[in-house]
């Protein structure tokens, strides 16, 4: 099997302003962040696709003493969230724009099955770029 440098391509693409995932050619599931094989149907027939960055937040916690990190101070206010991309991938990530002030509003939306939309943003960390999300407000 051809050995592709998937992790390297993911980070190289971020340097070019693109968020890349891999779409299964058998079942259509999208893996983001990208990996070799499909975790839905096990196929290795995957093609690179650019991710829209649009998605939804479906659970979250605010940072505390144990989970606060100095490098995230520039992102305040933020939360650690469970997110789902419109392409279908679900994973944990940072979502900016969430604080004690709007926590209850977001919980109410989740309890009433209302969407909490988010949009991805590429940020610079020390030595590499990564992805965080912003709450999309009306």
Partner 1 sequence: MVKLGKYSRSVSIIGVGCTPFMYVLDSPETEGLTEGELFGYAALDAMKDAGIEAKDVDFYFHGQASPTMGSEYITPNMQVADWFGMRGKASIHHSEACCTGYLALEQAVNAVASGKYNIVLSGCVDMADSRPVADMPAHKRRKFSFEEFVYSTKFIYDRAYTRSLDAGTVIAFDDAAAQYARENHLTDEQMDDVLNAMSINNRRNAAKHPLALMKQEFKDIAKENGFDDVMDYMRSPYNPRMSEYLRVSGVELKCDGAAALIVCPTEIARQFTKNPIEVLAIGSAAYEGSQCHLEARGTAEAVRQAYEVSGVKPEEIDLFYANDFIITSHLISAEIAGYLPKGEGWRYILDGRTAYDGDKPINTNGGRTSFGHAHAASGVADIYEAVNQMRGLCGERQVKKLPRTVMLRGFGGGQNLASIILRTLQ
Q: Which is nearer to partner 1, 24 or 132 (CB)?
A: 132
Q: Which is nearer to partner 1, 102 or 130 (CB)?
A: 130
CB of 94 to partner 1, least distance (A): 5
Residue closest to 32 by CA, chosen among 59, 6, 58, 12: 6
Structure tokens at 127: 């030595």
CB of 37 to partner 1, least distance (A): 14
CA of 94: how far to CAs of 19, 47, 82, 107, 121, in Å?
Answer: 16, 26, 9, 17, 10
Q: Which is nearer to partner 1, 48 or 58 (CB)?
A: 58
CB of 137 to partner 1, least distance (A): 21
| 13 cis-preceded (ω within 30 degrees of 0) | no
Q: Which is nearer to partner 1, 26 or 90 (CB)?
A: 90
CA distance 137 to 56: 12
Binding site for partner 1 (CB under 8 A): 7, 10, 33, 58-67, 69, 72, 80, 82-83, 90-94, 107, 110-111, 125, 128, 130-132
Residue 108 belongs to what H/E stretch?
Answer: helix 100-111
CB of 14 to partner 1, least distance (A): 10
């Amino acid at each position: 099997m051809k050995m592709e440098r998937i992790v390297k391509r993911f980070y190289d693409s971020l340097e070019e302003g693109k968020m890349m995932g891999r779409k299964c050619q058998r079942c259509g599931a999208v893996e983001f962040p990208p990996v070799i094989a499909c975790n839905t149907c096990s196929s290795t027939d995957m093609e690179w696709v650019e991710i829209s960055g649009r998605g939804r937040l479906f659970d979250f916690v605010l940072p505390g003493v144990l989970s606060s990190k100095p490098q995230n101070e520039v992102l305040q206010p933020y939360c650690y969230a469970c997110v789902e991309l419109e392409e279908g991938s679900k994973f944990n990530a940072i979502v900016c724009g969430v604080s004690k002030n709007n926590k209850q509003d977001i919980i109410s939306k989740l309890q009433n099955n209302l969407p909490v939309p988010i949009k991805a943003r590429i940020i610079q960390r020390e030595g590499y770029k990564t992805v965080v999300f912003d709450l999309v407000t009306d």
